[in-house]
Amino acid sequence: MKDQNPIIVHQIFDVPVKAVWKAITDNAEMRQWYFDAIPDFRPEVGFKTRFLVQNGERNFTHIWKVKEVVPEKFIGYSWRFEEYSGEAYTIFDLAKEDTKTALTLKSYVIDVFPNDIPEFKRESGQAGWDYLIKESLLQFLST
C-alpha cells in the first residue's frame, strides 16, 4: 500500500550534532545500533551499498543509494529489496538545540511494497523506525 504520509520519528539526543552525525553515517557506528550486516557506508551522493537481513525464512537484501547529503545536517537515501518490488526514501534531519541534537526521521514510500508481507505494513515500519531511533540509537549514544 502506498501511503502519502511519511513515517516520522523525532528524538532529542543529549549529545552534540557531530556525535549523532557520526552515528548515522559512520559504518562502524551504524553496525552497532542499526544493522550489523552493513558492509560499507559513506555519506556521499551516489554511494550504494547492499546487505542481507533475514527475518525468519524471509530474506531482505537491502539496496541503499545515497541521494542527498549536507554534512552534520541532512542525509537522504533510497532503499529497496532485491527480493521484492517497492522502494522507499528516508531522510535523517539534524538540528542543534543548545548542547543537544534533534533528529527527525521521515520515511516515504515511493513505490508500493507487496501488501501481503507483514514487514511492509505501515505499523511494522513505524515500529521498526521507533525502535531504531528511540531505543537502539538512543541507547548507543547514551553510552
CA angle 39, 96, 41 (to 5 degrees): 10
Q: Which CATH architecture has domain 7-142?
A: 2-Layer Sandwich (3.30)
Closest CA to 59 of 37, 75, 77, 43: 37
Distances, alpha carbon 73 to alpha carbons 6, 44, 64, 117, in Å: 19, 13, 19, 34
- Let me know how many helices (H) and strands (E) the chain has, helices first: 4, 6
pLDDT digits (tens, 9 = 90+) for 45-101: 999 999 999 999 999 999 999 999 999 999 999 999 999 999 999 999 999 999 999
Q: Which residue has the higher pLDDT, 102 or 55?
A: 102
Instruction: Write the Ramachandran bin of 98: left for phi over 0, alpha for psi from -120 to 50, otherwise beta.
Output: left
